[in-house]
Structure 1
Amino acid sequence: MTRSPATPLPPPKARRRLRETAALTQTQLATRVGVTPGIVRAWESGRTTPRGRKREAYARLLKTLAEEEAARQAKHKQQEPQEQQEQQKPDEKQESAPAPVPKLEPESKPEPQSDAKPAPEPESEPAPEPAPVALTPAQAFDALYAFSAPALVRQTFLLTGRREQARESVERAFQAAWERWPEVARDRDPVGWVRATAYEYALSPWQRFRPRHRHPEPPPADPGDRTLLNTLLRLPPQHRRTLVLYDGVGLDLPETAAETEASTPATASRLLHAREAVAGRLPALADPQVLHRRLTELASNERLRAAEPPAVRRGGERRARLRTRAAIAFTVALIGTTALTVRTAPTHYEPPISPGQAVRGVPHRVAPGALSDEELELRQKLRDQMQDGPERLLPRPE
């Protein structure tokens, strides 16, 4: 059973432009489609994509808005020539009418004004804004790293409770971003892209098999921070990530759901269970604002340092070169093994030889030995006598 192709939609920026041109708010558009304003915000930001009947309704509404905008533009273009013609007609009438004769009046001397203000000086034209300086890819990457790396390391520490693992996760995420820099640079939220990659690496189940994971790191010095961190680490990884994104980073529910790749109801359920678990052990953090402040304090109290941007870029490039060389070596080894197999493989089928088995109960074959005198005499007698004839058939009387 094949699926019908999805209804095409304009890009996220075009969706928002159509809505604003029609003078509609996100709430009004959400009411017409039958969804919440947060879902419309996620559609216009490009974090989520509508599906099914909602996608068809959204596509029909956007098509209607686009047709209305095209009709308004066409009507405006038709009105412009008429207005220009109407403006030209009064000008022609004024040119044809005779110029009025000015009346001569006696000159009047101006009265002296002691409090006369000086004439205002003509306003000077504003200085042109300097053209934006184009940054190289390396400079743009360094600026993004310097802006977001320290905060990402602190956030990742709340997920893992390990300082070195948090720093390494953020570095690996930025190295992956540097490998895909054209894609990440054009992304609407580059920091969100790096944050999602760092969280995935930090919460990977393979981290527990590393030798470094077997040795615990010293806990925070403050007893309150230590209790809060232990409470966070007892939460399931997805609940912990949802709590950090919503109450720690400050994302709204649709953005948190999009980053954790879950539905909005599932994300809300995870958030409620995580808050209940934290409030059950620390009742003072039942208020979300207090929880947000405590998470910020816990992440800020630790001395977490990030590496320099050039070192991260060089590390990513070195890792990419090693992976490329390993892939080339594996390919060459595979080609060599295949060639050797083709060269030494038999060209026809040879049935296998069954292994031998010991047979019991059969006497050994005795080799003939030297003949005795009687045997020699008997052999000679048989040779001397006739081998055929009646003598052999009739018995001789003795």
Structure 2
Amino acid sequence: MTQGAATPLPTPKERRRLRESRSLTQAQVATKVGVTRETVRSWESGRTTPRGRKAEAYARLLSQLAEPAEPAEAAELAESTAPVEPSGPAGATGPAEPAETSEPAEPELVGAGAPARTPARKNRRAPSPARPARRRTPRREPAPSERPGTPPEAFDALYAHCAPYLVRQTYLLTGRRALARESVERAFQLAWERWPEVAVDPDPAGWVRAAAYEYAMSPWHRLRRAHRVPEAPPADPEDRKLLDALLSLPPAYRRTLLLYDGVGLNLPETAAETEASTPAAANRVLHAREAVAEQLPGLAVPEQLHQRLTELAGSEKLDAPRSTTVRSGGEKRTRFWTRAAIAVTVLIVGATALTVRVAPTKYEPVPAPGAPISGVPPLTGPQHMTEHDRKLRQRLRAELSGGPQRLAPVAE
């Protein structure tokens, strides 16, 4: 089955279904076609349409995916579409290492839907004759019986996978243990309230992580009484210095550094989650690294910084509450605010009804405004004194100050 450039491509939904039927990731398809993972994501979502040679290559790949293939051919196709991960803030790419059968243990900080980012190598290591190259096993889709059947089961699975990592990440973001637990709990309560929206989201873990970060970084926490009390620092002096260096960064720089060097997101995903452009996110990462390296010169290498962030987060005893507690707390909170809204509505309706009941039903005309009245005599009383009157008054006061002269009788 072949498909030329003039042949219309399948619908975006069908493109995604063909890719998932072979257990391929968007990065593997992007490597095969010669584009970025974000471009494949745009093609599958319908935001953009492939053109030119990229469209021809994409059409040929979809034609191969539509044909029935043997297990060996599917493994060969998965091997030929091995993903290439970015290695730096500028988005530089490099070939990936051959896959191994035994994978290293996942770090404590990495999680919540973000795999650990491995540094890129300049040259691919050639397989030796004594050690043949191993094929990459295609990702197995979960069977229908293994998938969560009810919303509570799906929520509990997401919570069990993301909550332990999110609590540690939020602690590095805020430096407060109680606030980290509260932020994660509120984020999952909000996710449970909007579960129909979160369940169909392409990245539910990223949705919850963004909600937890937004709540943790809210400036209104400064007005709380508990926030004014200083938090107990880590016991290790090196961990204390690293945490102080992180908290000295601006909130936007701290969040970008944590997502890129701590969680392991690539640059476009970090920029999208922080609501910034890709160049702005890259500049924030570079400036944050420089600020941390000034205080801790030993963490100038990104790999060392990632390892130290993982060790700092793993050294704290931060346990998230149970998922059933979070769900029940969210439901109680929702019921409380629903009842409060109903009570306020009933109060407003009652006040309106009372006002209508006691309001006058008969119109009373307003008295006419006042008008001037003529024929009133002028005010009586002393008039203004002239200059002559003033002089006379002064003269009388001066001469009669001692009283009138008395006449004494004289005898003759």
Q: Same-fold call, TM > 0.5?
A: yes
Query: d(CA) in 2 for partners of 1:326 and 1:60?
Result: 60
Instruction: Give yes or no for the alignment of 1:43 onto 2:57.
Output: no
Measured after TM superposition, the shift of residue 178 of structure 1 is 1.3
Partner of 2:244: 230
Pair 254,69 (structure 1): closer, same or farther in 2 beyond 3 Å: closer
Pair 45,292 (structure 1): closer, same or farther in 2 beyond 3 Å: farther
SS in 1 for 2:12: coil
Which stretches in structure 2 are left out of the alignment for 5+ residues?
Answer: 1-10, 67-142, 371-377, 382-412
Instruction: Give yes or no for the alignment of 1:13 onto 2:16.
Output: yes
Q: Is the 8 Å Cα contact of residues 33 and 58 (structure 2) preserved in structure 1?
A: no
Instruction: Give yes or no for the alignment of 1:281 onto 2:290.
Output: no
Higher Cα Rg, which structure: 1
Partner of 1:320: 334
Pair 130,323 (structure 1): closer, same or farther in 2 beyond 3 Å: closer
Partner of 1:159: 173
Paired residues in the alignment total: 288
Partner of 1:83: none
Instruction: Give yes or no for the alignment of 1:26 onto 2:40.
Output: no
Q: Give me the identity figure in percent.
A: 57
Q: Is the 8 Å Cα contact of residues 257 and 264 (structure 1) preserved in structure 2?
A: yes
Q: Is the 8 Å Cα contact of residues 42 and 254 (structure 1) preserved in structure 2?
A: no
Measured after TM superposition, the shift of residue 26 of structure 1 is 2.0
**Equivalent residue letter for 2:325:** A
Cα RMSD between the aligned structures? 4.1
Query: d(CA) in 2 for partners of 1:308 and 1:68?
Result: 45
Query: d(CA) in 2 for partners of 1:186 and 1:227?
Result: 41
Partner of 1:118: none
Query: d(CA) in 2 for partners of 1:62 and 1:346?
Result: 76
Query: d(CA) in 2 for partners of 1:352 and 1:282?
Result: 83
Partner of 1:78: none
Q: Which has the higher helix share?
A: 1
Q: Is the 8 Å Cα contact of residues 13 and 44 (structure 1) preserved in structure 2?
A: no
Query: d(CA) in 1 for partners of 2:145 and 2:18?
Result: 30
1:202-259, CA deviations, whole angstroms, 9 ceiling, x for partnerless residues? Answer: 0111111122111111111111111111111111111111110110011111111121
Query: d(CA) in 2 for partners of 1:332 and 1:211?
Result: 34
Pair 337,192 (structure 1): closer, same or farther in 2 beyond 3 Å: same
Q: Is the 8 Å Cα contact of residues 192 and 330 (structure 2) preserved in structure 1?
A: yes
Pair 351,161 (structure 1): closer, same or farther in 2 beyond 3 Å: farther
Pair 56,44 (structure 1): closer, same or farther in 2 beyond 3 Å: closer
Partner of 1:103: none
Measured after TM superposition, the shift of residue 61 of structure 1 is 7.1
Q: Is the 8 Å Cα contact of residues 173 and 194 (structure 1) preserved in structure 2?
A: yes
Pair 15,240 (structure 1): closer, same or farther in 2 beyond 3 Å: farther
Instruction: Give yes or no for the alignment of 1:204 onto 2:203.
Output: no
Query: d(CA) in 1 for partners of 2:268 and 2:195?
Result: 26
Query: d(CA) in 2 for partners of 1:219 and 1:282?
Result: 17
1:362-387, CA deviations, whole angstroms, 9 ceiling, x for partnerless residues? Answer: 569xxxxxxxxxxxxxxxxxxxxxxx
Pair 280,41 (structure 1): closer, same or farther in 2 beyond 3 Å: farther
Q: Is the 8 Å Cα contact of residues 15 and 62 (structure 1) preserved in structure 2?
A: no
Q: Is the 8 Å Cα contact of residues 245 and 295 (structure 2) preserved in structure 1?
A: yes
Query: d(CA) in 1 for partners of 2:20 and 2:367?
Result: 76
SS in 1 for 2:156: helix
Measured after TM superposition, the shift of residue 260 of structure 1 is 1.5
SS in 2 for 1:251: coil
SS in 2 for 1:323: helix
What are the within-5 Å matches in structure 2 for residues 103-114 of structure 1? none
Q: Is the 8 Å Cα contact of residues 34 and 54 (structure 2) preserved in structure 1?
A: no
Measured after TM superposition, the shift of residue 141 of structure 1 is 1.8
Match for 2:349 among 313, 335, 340? 335
Query: d(CA) in 2 for partners of 1:211 and 1:245?
Result: 29
Query: d(CA) in 1 for partners of 2:173 and 2:44?
Result: 26
What are the within-5 Å matches in structure 2 for residues 259-278 of structure 1? 259-278=273-292
Measured after TM superposition, the shift of residue 13 of structure 1 is 2.2
Query: d(CA) in 2 for partners of 1:315 and 1:218?
Result: 28
Query: d(CA) in 1 for partners of 2:308 and 2:20?
Result: 39
Partner of 1:86: none
Query: d(CA) in 2 for partners of 1:188 and 1:250?
Result: 18
What are the within-5 Å matches in structure 2 for residues 67-82 of structure 1? none
Pair 262,16 (structure 1): closer, same or farther in 2 beyond 3 Å: farther
Give the TM-score normalised by the residue count of structure 2.
Answer: 0.59
What are the within-5 Å matches in structure 2 for residues 85-104 of structure 1? none
Measured after TM superposition, the shift of residue 324 of structure 1 is 0.4
**Equivalent residue letter for 1:285:** L
Pair 243,42 (structure 1): closer, same or farther in 2 beyond 3 Å: farther
**Equivalent residue letter for 1:241:** R
Give the TM-score normalised by the residue count of structure 1.
Answer: 0.61
Match for 1:139 among 153, 162, 186? 153
Q: Is the 8 Å Cα contact of residues 18 and 62 (structure 2) preserved in structure 1?
A: no
